[in-house]
Amino acid sequence: MSLPNASVKVLIRGDRNVGKTCLMERLQGRQFRETYEPTEEIQVASVSWNYKASNDIVKVDIWDIVDRSRRKRPVSNILKLENVEGEQTEVSLDASFIDIYQGANAVILMFDITKPWTWDYVKRELPSVPATLPILVLGNRRDMDSAREVSENVCRRFINDFQRPSASAPVRYAESSMRTGLGLKLLYVFLNVPFLLIEVLPP
């Protein structure tokens, strides 16, 4: 098996229940899951991707980001600075504990086209993404178009009007369905952007 020529770190961000974990699993070649199970901790998976122009093999580290975990788990072996009776708790690893953007090469901001508040999440978080990172805003659940509440035209207009500092990485918009696989090929094309930036820009 050939060793990868480069590695790319891609973050998947979005409100709860928009399809982030489904996207990570689909990129690993897994089937769509109908049942929803909340992700309470940052998940990381690696897949191989080929840059078609040169046949370079790229290791893509996909991070399924949890902004703030709702789960607390009991632990008994953590460092204690004083005598404390009773059970201690430790929250799961989420974005409040680490700088998720450190070492990142691209960001996918995902929302559900049937849930307007998940689009609000994207609009709120978009300005906080470092200008050096290419962004793909992904409207998911296209298979539920009959229940759509966020217009594609509204989204595209917002993205086109969004101002980043000069010489910033691009922001693009696409739509997807994790159930049907719509948009997955476009995601593979999007990976060209962070890979080429790695190749061009000095470390």
CATH code at position 113: 3.40.50.300
Does some domain include residue 81? no
Give the SS3 label for residue 104.
coil
Does any domain span residue 147?
Answer: yes
The residue to which tokens 């990570």 are assigned: 24
- Domain annotation covers residue 75: no
Residue 52: the pLDDT is 76
Whether residue 91 has pLDDT greater than 60: no
Better-predicted residue by pLDDT, 51 or 174 = 174
Contact predicate 93/40, CB 8 Å:
no
CA dihedral 118, 172, 47, 72 (to 10 degrees): -20
- Contact at 8 Å (CB) between 135 and 171? yes
pLDDT tens digits, 41-88: 999 999 999 887 777 888 999 999 999 887 655 555 555 555 555 555
Looking at the domain assignment, is residue 1 inside a domain?
no
Mean pLDDT rounded to a whole number for the chain: 88
Q: For residue 69, what pLDDT is reported? A: 81
Q: What residue numbers bound the domain in which 50 lies?
A: 6-69+88-200
Q: Does residue 82 sit within a domain?
A: no
Using pLDDT thresholds of 50, 70 and 90, give the confidence band for residue 101: very high
Q: Residue 74 domain-assigned?
A: no
Is residue 148 in some structural domain? Answer: yes
Any domain includes 83: no
Closest by CA to 125, choosing from 24, 11, 46, 19, is: 11
pTM: 0.86
Number of domains into which the chain is organized: 1
Round to whole Å and give the CA distance between 67 and 95: 5
Other Cβ atoms less than 10 A from the Cβ of 173: the count is: 18
**Residue 155 confidence (pLDDT) above 70:** yes
pLDDT interval class at 1 (50, 70, 90): very low
